[in-house]
Amino acid sequence: MATHSIEPTRAHLHGHFSAALPPILTIEPGDTVRFRTLDAGWRLEPPRLDGSSPRMLEPRDDKLDAGHALCGPLAIRGARPGMALEIRMDAIEPEAWGWTRSGGWKSPINDRLGVADGAGHWLIWTIDAARKVARDQHGHEVSLRPFMGVMGLAPAERGVHSTIPPRASGGNIDCKELVAGSTLFLPIAVNDALFSVGDGHATQGDGEVSGLAIECPMRRVELTFALRDDLGLRLPMAETPAGTVTLGFGATLDDAAGDALDAMVHVIGARFGVSRKDALALASVAVDLRVTQVVNQVVGVHAVLPPDAIRGGAPRRA
C-alpha cells in the first residue's frame, strides 16, 4: 500500500465530469492519496471586497473548466461497474481563508427572499484551525466542521457533465456529515472509477441555503481507497460520526427523501434481519431525514441512523 501526493497544478485540475478524462494517477486498492485543493472557484487568494478580481488559476477552458476546481481523476486499478468505491476520510484540514456569498443571482430561494437582483453580499473569513473557528470581517465567529463538497466518479453517459448537480456516482453532494473519520461509498459506473475531489467547505449548515458554505482551499485532504463488491449500491451512502447516512437526490424534496429512505430501509433490513415493513417502522422511530442542499439544480436529502439507535431484537418475518 502506497501513499501519493497531488498538488492543485493546472495539469491536475478540471471543472467537469467525463468518462473520457484521462487519469492523472493510477492507484491500487488500499492506497492513500494526500490532496491539496483550491477553492471551488479556482482562486489563489480570497475574494476582494473592493470588487477587484483576485488571482485565479489560469488558463481555463470556458466549457471544460466551468465547474468546481476538482483534483483528478484518479484511476483505481480493478474498479468495475457494479462495484462500489470506498473512500475513507483520514484528514480534512482547511487553509487560512474562505468566503461565503449570498444573493446577486437568479434562483428559487433568492427570488423568494428578494435578493436575486443587484450585487451579491460577501463574507470573507479568516480560518483559525487551531481554535477550530472562522471569523468574518464583521467579527462573527462560527465553529469549523470541514468537509469536501464534491467527491465523485465519472458517470457512464458520454459527454461533458456539469459538476453542479449530484448524481448516482456522487459529485456535488454537499453533505456536512462527511467529515474526517467518515467513509463514503460510491457506485462505480465506469472502469477504473475515475474519482475526483474538490469544493472544500470549512463549515456548512444543512441546506446550504445561500448556495455556498464557507468556501475554502484545503491544505490537506487525505483519503484511502478500497473496492467493494458486496454492497449493490444504487446511490451513495456513508458511515460517519453521526451514524449511517443514505443519500437521495431529485427534482423535489419528496423525490430525494424517497430515495434516501428507500436506501435506509434496505440498510436496516439487512443489518437487523427484518422485513421491509418492519424496517420502515424502525426507521420511523430511529432515523432522521435532513435536507442536504436545495441549491444544486437537483435537491438532496440524507437519512441518518445514529449509532446504537436500534439495539437488540431478533429477526422475524412479517
Give Cα separations from 260 to 46, 165, 247 (angstroms): 36, 16, 5
Give the confidence band of 104 by pLDDT, cuts at 50, 70, 90.
confident
Q: What was the pLDDT predicted at 269?
A: 97
* 234 is a domain residue: no
pLDDT confidence of residue 67? 98
* Domain count of the fold of the chain: 2
What would the mean pLDDT of 75-79 be, rounded to a whole number? Answer: 98
DSSP, res 256: H
- In three-state secondary structure terms, 233 is coil
Show which of 228, 260, 295 is a domain's final residue: 228
pTM for the predicted model, two decimal places = 0.96
Q: Which domain holds residue 219?
A: 3-228
User: 228, 258, 276 — which closes off a domain?
Assistant: 228
Residue 278's domain is classified under what CATH number?
3.10.28.20
- What's the distance, CA 208 to chain centroid? 12
10 Å Cβ neighbour count for 264? 27
- Percent with pLDDT over 70 in the chain: 98
Same domain, yes or no, for 158 and 223?
yes
Asked if pLDDT for residue 318 goes beyond 60, the answer is: no
Tell whether 75 and 132 lie within a shared domain. Answer: yes
Of 97-106, 124-133, 201-210, give the lowest mean pLDDT range.
Answer: 97-106
Task: Say whether both 256 and 222 belong to one domain.
Answer: no
Is residue 121 domain-shared with residue 46, that is, in the same domain? Answer: yes
For the stretch 121-175, pLDDT in tens is: 999 999 999 999 999 999 999 999 999 999 999 999 999 999 999 999 999 999 9
83 and 186 both lie in a single domain: yes
Helices (H), the chain: 108-113, 253-272, 276-286
On the CB side of 2, CA atoms within 13 Å amount to 7
User: What distance in Å separates the CA atoms of residue 258 and residue 250, rounded to the nearest whole number?
Assistant: 9
The predicted model gives 209-213 an average pLDDT of: 96
Show the cell assigned to 174: 454537499
The CA distances from residue 288 to 72, 110, 280, 314, in Å, are: 33, 27, 12, 23
252-304 residue pLDDT tens: 999 999 999 999 999 999 999 999 999 999 999 999 999 999 999 999 999 99
**Do 253 and 199 fall within a single domain?**
no
pLDDT given at position 221: 98
With respect to residue 277, please indicate whether it lies within any of the assigned structural domains.
Answer: yes
Same-domain check for residues 135 and 259:
no
Q: CA-to-CA distance for 253 and 2, rounded, in angstroms?
A: 41
105 and 212 Cβ atoms separated by less than 8 Å:
no
